[in-house]
Amino acid sequence: MAKREEAVNMTDQFAEFKELKNIDKTTLISVLEESFRSVLAKMFGNDDNFDVIVNPDKGDCEIYQNLEVVPDGEVENPNAQISLSDAQADDDPEAEVGEDHTRKIDFAKFGRRAILNLRQTLASKILDLQKDAVYNKFKELEGELVTGEVYQVWKREVLLLDDEKNELLLPKDQQIPTDIYRKGDTVRAVVHNVDNKNNNPKITVSRTSEVFLRRLFELEVPEIHDGLIVIRKVARVPGERAKIAVESYDDRIDPVGACVGVKGARIHGIVRELRNENIDVIPYTTNPQLLIQRALSPAKISSIRLDDENKHAEVFLRPEEVSLAIGKGGLNIKLATMLTDYSIDVYRDLDSGGEEDIYLDEFKDEIDEWVIEALKDMGCDTAKSVLRTPREELIEQADLEEDTVDNVLAVLRAEFED
């Protein structure tokens, strides 16, 4: 059998494919071998009797054709057989009929057309691999922050390029309304959707998604990144206002204070990124009554009537507090509804002929402060809101003794009777 010779250097034919990003060496070797085999199959009818050895590091390729040795004059298929005399003359003097003879193939001698065909096949396969790599990479990044440079601005979308020149599309409906983009600007967004229709990856990013707001807080607030503080709920009208409910796993950490930062240092960076979008941070609670009360901040609520089954809340406020609860253009109540998952109706509290209500904090001389806090935790901030709540409900929800509740009711009633 003929001894295999030194490899023919094919560096010029596929050197440009050696330094490919996102494609591992094993896959690259496989693709190069497949490309050579594809061209060989077209030239010889099939590639079954060929061995292809590729070394992309050196840029060389060895191709060998395995032929059956037959008697002289009996070669019927020159692509699969070789005569005894030709085999002996081809550096295999000990060749015998019936044995296999391995012939070195010099691919470069097949001419310009074969090499061009090889390059085209390689380019096509490599392009498919690169597309798959991009799709897989960004599919794993869905919901994560990415940064890109504005490359082109169109009416309905903006084209961004990341550090590896991957294309990211920022559609108009995923842009903050006050965003203005110019070529060369650096834009931060979250990977919103990745699809691969017709093997053509399309990466859509968003700045309006609530996930974008979450990721910005994770970036600016180490306690959230470390899992000490959790963002439980997010409600957002992009470019206008947002509310987030946060909870701490460590009693020593004030979740709202940690998110806002000293003198607002942490939240200011997020507000700037969101084009001065107002952000309200509130402490999360599983008590829906209290969560609604906090979500309607800065309005101060007199009382709340809940229908848990239908997720509906009737909120009563002093007349001067109603506009605060609703907010400009109904924005505050809209966000509170989104945050709490309760539909909320707001009513003016005109009970007792329009008499003034009194906040519970005014009764600290007569009612223990811890009792007042327990009542406030269940959504009762004022005297009338307590008096309007059934006695049994006060005992159960505020977790107070019957005598304590009776004492509170007596103190409050006495105030209005006077």
- Max mean pLDDT range (55-69, 79-93, 270-284, 312-326): 270-284
Q: What per-residue confidence (pLDDT) applies to 201?
A: 92
Half-sphere exposure of 392 (CA within 13 A, CB side): 0
Average pLDDT over residues 112-127: 79
Average pLDDT over residues 143-168: 94
**DSSP structure string for 321-357:** HHHHHH-GGGHHHHHHHHHHS-EEEEEE--HHHHPPP
Phi, psi of 345 (to 5 degrees): -110, 135
Structure tokens at 300: 């101060």
- Is the separation of the CB atoms in 1 and 101 below 8 Å? yes
Average pLDDT over residues 333-356: 81
pLDDT band at 11 (very low <50, low <70, confident <90, very high): very low
Tell me, yes or no, if the pTM score tops 0.75: no
Residue 181 has pLDDT above 90, yes or no: yes
Q: Which CATH architecture has domain 8-135?
A: 2-Layer Sandwich (3.30)
Q: Which CATH architecture has domain 355-417?
A: Orthogonal Bundle (1.10)
CATH for the 141-206 domain, from 3.10.350.10, 1.10.3470.10, 3.20.20.140, 2.40.50.140: 2.40.50.140
- Please give the DSSP secondary-structure letter assigned to residue 65: E
Q: What CATH topology corresponds to 209-280?
A: GMP Synthetase; Chain A, domain 3 (3.30.300)
Residue 368 has pLDDT above 70, yes or no: yes
C-alpha span between 353 and 318 (Å, rounded): 13
pLDDT band at 7 (very low <50, low <70, confident <90, very high): very low
Residue 2 has pLDDT above 50, yes or no: no
Which residues in 238-307 belong to E strands, given as ranges?
A: 241-248, 278-283, 301-307
Q: What per-residue confidence (pLDDT) applies to 247?
A: 95
User: What's the mean per-residue pLDDT of the chain?
Assistant: 85
What are the structural domain ranges in the chain? 8-135, 141-206, 209-280, 285-349, 355-417
Cβ partners under 8 Å of residue 350, min gap 6:
319
Average pLDDT over residues 357-370: 85
Residue 17 has pLDDT above 90, yes or no: no
- Is the separation of the CB atoms in 239 and 178 below 8 Å? yes
Q: What per-residue confidence (pLDDT) applies to 182?
A: 94
User: Residue type at 408?
Assistant: V
Per residue in 203-228, pLDDT (tens digit) is 999 999 999 999 999 999 999 999 99
pLDDT band at 179 (very low <50, low <70, confident <90, very high): very high
Per residue in 55-92, pLDDT (tens digit) is 766 667 788 888 888 898 888 888 888 888 888 887 77
Q: Which of 37-41, 155-159, 212-216, 244-248 has the lowest mean pLDDT?
A: 37-41
